Structure formats: C-alpha cells, structure tokens
Amino acid sequence: MSNIEVIQLGLGAAELGMTRMNIIEVQRSYSGTYWSSLETYITLIFAYVVAMFIAGNKLRRKQYIVLTSTYSLISLFVLLVILSYVSLAIKWQNYSGLSYVLADYPATSILIVAMTLFSMLVISIWFGWSIRNPKVSGSAPVD
C-alpha cells in the first residue's frame, strides 16, 4: 500500500468553490497573459532600440521627444499590465496550495520583475539619448 500525500488548498481557496484543477487553470491563464505581455514589452524595447540606432541621430529634437514620450508611456502601461498579471498569477498559485520559487515572498517576486523591466526601459531610453548626443554621453559616433 502506498502513501498518498494530499496537498491542502491554499488560504482562502475553499471559499471559491472551485477544484484545484479549476484554480490551476485560472492561474495558468493569468500566467499565459503575463508571458504574452512580456513578449510585447521586449518587442517594444527592441523596436525602439533599433529605430534609435538607425534613425536616432537624424531626428529633430521635437520628433525625438514625441517618440521617446510615446514609447515611455506605452512601455509603462505594458509594464503595469505585466505586474498586474504577475500578481494575479501569484495569488491564484497560492490558492492552489502548490509551492513555487519565492512562494513565501510574493511581493519580492513582483518587485524583482518590476525592477528588471523598468531597468530595461531606462537603459533603452539612455541608449536612444546616447545615439542623439554621442559627445555628451561619451559613446563613439555611429556612422
């Protein structure tokens, strides 16, 4: 006879009236949306970096400001969407009762994701600025 370990549902999950499989499905849905939004974010950053590399030094000041402002606002919106889906995925993962990396520290997980994505945004904006101002930033001119 084998021993079967029953994993209890997480805190607050019993009130949902859902099976563990339903809870895991909801968690995976949020997780999938998170990954999809992350792909969009990385594509957006890559597109900005390539556009600045190719045409950044040819843009007028107003064009650069409009482009960078629009890029920043859209990126911050996508970043907030990512963070909301990360927090929802963590919440539903906790309902399932299954453990994961940093399960006891959900705020730390969200903070790590936020700082990583925000630093990618800042670095890409710095790159665009350094293409526009090669003498000020100390970077080599691009021909």
The predicted pLDDT at position 114 comes to: 87
pTM given for the model? 0.73
Cβ pair 37, 81 in contact under 8 A: yes
Cα 120 to chain centroid distance, Å, stands at 10
**Inter-residue contact 69 to 10 (CB < 8 Å):** no
Tens-level pLDDT at each residue, the chain (143 residues): 566 655 566 666 677 777 777 878 888 888 888 889 889 999 999 999 999 888 888 888 898 899 999 999 999 999 998 888 888 888 877 777 766 666 666 678 778 888 999 999 999 999 988 888 777 655 555 55
pLDDT at position 39: 92
What pLDDT does residue 137 have? 53
